[in-house]
Chains A and B, each alone.
Chain A
């Protein structure tokens, strides 16, 4: 016979099992039917759980500490070494924003890749078999971290600006408009999303980290150089180089409709399409 335990005569009607009725029937099958099905897991709970998982590991904790330390060090560096003429809000927010922009995508990457590299996905995806919901919660949290990180940078920068101005003996200079701040937030969120995209596509911490560094730093150097020596590339760059636009967002929003269109087109090619592919593969991947 091919079945180990053939269907007991008292099998609840909801289960269909092949095989004849078996003599050795237990009447404890009631445990199956004893309780009603539990209510589904709400998305808000997944948001909470995934946010918690970003910071409850040693790596997550030290990443947060690292960001805080980097912010304070960056402020101190501006106070100590910047010429008096540069003691203004934009100097502080830029100095703090740069380490943030580097480190926040790493949080996004780890939130996805650790499920595979640390194999926590075995537990995560058996508790929530709809992987799309888990990843959506991670995505929302990653974007929130990207925005919150910049708000914190703005706050620490403001404090640094006040202290710096007081030390130098000038009135604090507030030279960052809300529009500029918004464009910086957007640029940062796009950077976080690039990290997230690479994480879903590669599902490995080292691979995604290297990919992110190559994409965010090595590639920028190469395209900048290429644009400076090859005129055709300098012409084409706005339509093909997402990095170029993402970097420009730290200086402000695109000034023309064409600029927005170029940002949109390159974002679709470099971010939306690969992210969709990564999500499609992640939902179907074998979790081992």
Chain B
């Protein structure tokens, strides 16, 4: 369990994190979504006691981080996989952490096996690791103390598609066992496929939050038929909000806040044959993400990048 309450961080006149509050619950994967520079990493650093907050609190398992007697045994933190001494071997990094936490030596090899690093790779210095290997090592480091809570900042960075799939399964399994997972990403798709709960941050503020189902439900229904104008009229006449998916192309259909059943009945009553009727799922959430964070984007290029990446 992680509880962030009214967390604020100011750097001079700039407010990087602005009254951020949310809860990551046990048994769930909570996705922390936002564009680059939105305040995700700062929030996570404050949570882990690396950055002092200007105001507000963050607790792990009911306690502020610095009150955890042996934090590695209760919370696994991976904030930046590249933040390791380049001249130390992967195994040595885990060994030092294991000694700090008071864990048996065998735990290091168990974790290496778990994250798929070979003994040979573990004997190499981190300087020679790919980003994907560093992420695996970082995850091994976070899981070493068998913690109840995991906090991961952009863990999918540098992993190949198979690696991303593996990470996703591992985190889902971890949450199913009752663990709390909080992971951040600037990629909507990453969060969407793994998270049970989603928190969206933009310009340091929480702009949306809820279960994935709640956020998806809010995105409405997509309907298409040959006569878009009459369908729009009928839906609006029935008291539903209607908008064109693409104003320049009527054939792209309509998005409405009516649920699919209602939208179908409205079309039936109007004598219109629908060519498509479905929940506006991923695309809707993507739309929402882009909308919610549009004003936080640095420029049009950044928006394009976020759109293409998501």
If the complex has contacts A3-B21, A3-B209, A4-B30, are A31 and B148 also in contact, measured as CB distance less than 8 A? Answer: yes
Set of chain A residues within 8 Å of B155, measured between Cβ atoms: none
Contacts known (A3-B22, A31-B26, A40-B69); A120 close to B83, Cβ less than 8 A = yes
* Docked-complex contact A118 and B23, CB < 8 angstroms: no
B49 neighbours in A (Cβ, 8 Å): 125-126, 129
CA gap between A39 and B73 in the complex, in Å: 10
Whether A127 pairs with B27 at a CB distance below 8 angstroms is no
When C-beta atoms are compared, the residue in chain B nearest to A122 turns out to be B83
A31-B179, A49-B99 known; A127-B71 Cβ under 8 A: yes
A15 touches B61 (CB 8 A): yes
CA distance A1 to B22 in the complex (A): 10
- Report whether A28 and B69 are in contact in the complex, using a CB–CB cutoff of 8 Å: no
Q: How distant is the Cα of A29 from the Cα of B176 in the complex, in angstroms?
A: 10
Say yes or no: is A281 at the interface (Cβ < 8 Å to chain B). no
**With an 8 A cutoff between CB atoms, is A223 at the interface?**
no
A58 near B84 (CB under 8 angstroms)?
no
Q: What chain A residues lie within 8 Å of B62 (beta carbons)?
A: 12, 14-16
Q: Is the CB of B199 within 8 A of A15?
A: no
A4 near B23: Cβ-Cβ < 8 Å: yes
Write the nearest CB–CB distance from A132 to chain B, whole angstroms.
11
A122 to B101, CA, bound (A): 15
Q: Which single residue of chain B is at the shortest CB-CB distance from A42?
A: B102
Binds B, one of A18-26, A212-220, A231-239: A18-26
B3 near A17 with CB under 8 A, answer yes
CB distance from B67 to the nearest CB of A (A): 9
Find out whether the CB atom of B99 lies under 8 angstroms from the CB atom of A11: no
Q: A3-B22, A119-B83, A286-B51 are in contact. Are A48 and B99 (CB under 8 A)?
A: yes
Query: Is A248 interfacial (CB-CB < 8 Å)?
Result: no
Task: List residues 9-61 of chain A with CB under 8 A from any CB of chain B.
Answer: 11-12, 14-19, 24, 26-32, 34-35, 37-41, 45-46, 48-49, 52-53, 56-60
A-B contact count (CB 8 A): 184
Q: Enumerate chain A residues within 8 angstroms of B93, measured Cβ to Cβ.
A: 123
Chain A residues lying within 8 Å of B24, measured Cβ to Cβ, are: 4-5
Report chain A residues within 8 Å CB of B23: 3-7, 17-19
Which residue in A2, A5, A118, A126 is a CB contact (below 8 Å) of B77? A126
B79 and A120 form a contact (CB under 8 A): no
B292 smallest CB distance to A (angstroms): 14
A5-B25 CB under 8 A given contacts A15-B59, A38-B73:
yes
Partner of B45 from the list A1, A123, A128, A287 (CB cut-off 8 Å) is: A287
Is B85 on the interface with A (CB-CB < 8 A)?
yes
Contact A5/B61 with A31-B26, A32-B1 known, Cβ cut-off 8 Å: no
CA distance A243 to B125 in the complex (A): 39
A120 to B86, CA, bound (A): 9
Q: How far is the CA of A12 from the CA of B21 in the complex (A)?
A: 19
Shortest CB–CB separation between residue A36 and chain B, in angstroms? 10
B198 contacts A by Cβ under 8 Å: yes
Residue numbers in A under 8 Å from B27 (CB-CB):
26-29, 31
B198-253 residues with Cβ-Cβ distance < 8 A to A are 198-199, 206, 209-211
- A286 to B50 alpha-carbon distance, docked (Å): 6
Chain A residues in 8 Å Cβ range of B5: 18
Contact A24 B211 (CB under 8 A): yes
Contact status A37-B74, CB under 8 Å:
yes
**When the two chains form their complex, are residues B26 and A28 in contact, meaning their CB atoms are under 8 A apart?**
yes
Tell me, yes or no, whether A8 is within 8 Å of chain B by CB: yes
Say yes or no: A52 contacts B99, CB within 8 Å: yes
A123 touches B102 (CB 8 A): no
Complex Cα–Cα for A48 and B95 (A): 12
For the complex, give the distance between the alpha carbons of A118 and B93 in Å: 13
- Inter-chain contact B65/A129, CB cutoff 8 Å: yes
User: Could you give, for residues 275-287 of chain B, a 1 whenever the CB lies within 8 Å of some chain A CB and a 0 otherwise?
Assistant: 0000000000000
Question: In the assembled complex, which residues on chain A have CB atoms less than 8 Å from the CB atom of B125?
Answer: 58
- Inter-chain CA distance A173–B62, complex, in Å, is 68
Q: List residues of chain B with CB within 8 A of the CB of A118.
A: 83-87
Given contacts A16-B3, A57-B87, contact A126 B209 (CB under 8 A): no
Beta-carbon nearest neighbor of A15 in chain B: B62
Among A7, A15, A30, residue most surrounded by chain B Cβ atoms (within 10 Å) = A15
Q: CA of A118 to CA of B5 in the docked complex: distance in angstroms?
A: 32
Chain B 30-69 per-residue mask, 1 if CB under 8 angstroms from chain A, else 0: 1000000000000001001111100000010110011011
Docked Cα-Cα span, A120 to B74, in Å, equals 20
Residues in A with CB closer than 8 Å to B66 are 129-130
B25 touches A26 (CB 8 A): yes
Contact with B28, one of A5, A30, A39 (Cβ below 8 angstroms): A5
A19: nearest chain-B partner, CB-CB? B23
Chain B residues contacting A39 (CB-CB under 8 Å) are 69-70, 102
- Asked if residues A37 and B22 are in contact (CB atoms below 8 Å), the reply is no
Bound CA–CA A122/B92 (angstroms): 16
Which 8 residue pairs spanning A and B have beta carbons closest together?
A: A31-B178, A26-B27, A4-B209, A28-B178, A58-B87, A119-B83, A28-B27, A57-B87
Given contacts A17-B3, A30-B178, A41-B102, 6 further A-B contacts (CB under 8 A): A5-B211, A29-B27, A38-B69, A45-B102, A46-B100, A120-B85
Listed in ascending order, the chain A residues whose CB lies under 8 Å from chain B are 1-8, 11-12, 14-19, 24, 26-32, 34-35, 37-41, 45-46, 48-49, 52-53, 56-60, 114, 118-123, 125-130, 284, 286-288
What are some 18 contacts across the A-B interface (CB < 8 A)?
A: A3-B209, A11-B1, A16-B3, A18-B5, A28-B177, A31-B180, A35-B148, A38-B70, A38-B73, A39-B70, A41-B102, A46-B100, A58-B125, A118-B86, A119-B83, A121-B83, A122-B83, A129-B65
